[in-house]
Amino acid sequence: MWDEDNPATEEDVESITPAQLKEQMGRDEDVFILDVRSGDNFDEWHIEGENVEIVNYPYFRLLDGMPQDLLADLPDDQKITVLCAKGESSAMVAEGLEANGFDVTHLEQGMKGWARIYEYTELDVDTDATIAQYQRPSSGCLAYLVISSGEAAVIDPLRAFTDEYVRDARTLGAELTHALDTHIHADHISGIRTLAEQTDATAVVPAAAAERGVEYDHQYETVDDGDALTVGDIEIDVLHTPGHTSGMTAYRVENVLFTGDGLFTESVARPDLEDPEAARDAARTLYESLTETVLTQSDETIIAPAHFSDSATTNADGTYTATLGELRGAMDALSMDEASFVEFILSDMPPQPANYEEIIAANLGQASPDDEDAFELELGPNNCAASETALTN
């Protein structure tokens, strides 16, 4: 594969874990990545960051040696991190680069390992509960842990990380009593049933979401608009906010509103994942939910969404939240009339999430992928927003 005059070294090339790479990015260190996946896979999903420079050069173009055009694009004064899908091809490419004199490492487990990163940060909010936000950088998924007086609820949990919710609740002296979904997700496999099976937590689904045909083997409860769930000394209020899906529901804990996929800090929901043929009607419903339910909350309300995109701006503590007042002033869509809103939403929607139909089937209980298949299904971006950037001033 490599130039015979520059054979690969006998020793294994240095590797870096996904967590170490994320730590480097968090320290604002300059990071250079060579992504050797196919162009299609790269275009769909790759690592981004303000301090990240990335070059895509597919592995199959390297089988006959190290091309001069690639070598010319690589820095000779900076460490290069090579990555692929699972960490196998990247090791071979890294060996070849090292043999050509480059300072190089490769990412263990590749993008599949990157998808295993899950970060916990407590929100700085004035509530009687402890509220933590979980972030999955690979897909922009957000989940939340709400703790009060020895009891805990998790909102929009991911099946792949159920052990972490249980562990973190216990670390904070609480037991999980509720596992809530805001809707039937189309980008990741829900963890509410797994948590209910492993703990005494009650799985909770919005009633309108269950009406889509939920077929769970495990017992679950439904909630309607106006209901409230008690967790410790606090109540979780239920607000039906359809539009993204017919069952989309927000949950409120005092001044924090968990908006699911209805409203993000940089955009609003796309309306076409439940029924693409009814997207226009769903966009009208979304407008009604935003104007009559979400935007009637006070400007001090903290919006805590279920996703973030690459265009979202973090707070100083690294979390993704914003006050409703901030979003009113920054997001054009929140001040449009209905007709303009609908046309705007439908005009700029990104590609549908990968495998979204299979993921929806799994979250309805109509399909039963095992843990590994479930994890594979949700690799990639979430694409649950109508647009990443066009909705903000």
Q: Bin 116: left if φ > 0, else alpha if -120 < ψ < 50, else beta.
A: alpha
Distance CA 330, CA 311 (A): 13
Distance CA 128, CA 10 (A): 59
Residues 56 and 70 sit within 8 Å (Cβ to Cβ) = no
Distance CA 250, CA 70 (A): 48
Distance CA 146, CA 166 (A): 12
Distance CA 212, CA 364 (A): 8
Is residue 84 among the annotated active site residues?
yes
List, in sequence order, every beta strand (DSSP E) within the chain.
15-16, 31-35, 52-56, 80-83, 104-107, 119-122, 130-136, 141-148, 151-155, 175-180, 202-206, 221-223, 228-231, 234-240, 249-253, 256-260, 302-305, 322-323
Enter the tokens of residue 355: 């495998």
- CB count within 10 Å of CB 89 equals 20
DSSP 211: T
Q: Cα 244 from chain centroid?
A: 16
Q: Which residue out of 8, 33, 62, 84 is catalytically annotated?
A: 84
Q: Rounded to 5 degrees, what angle do the CA atoms 389, 390, 393 make?
A: 90
The β-bridge partners of 145 are 132, 154
DSSP 334: G
Catalytic residues: 84
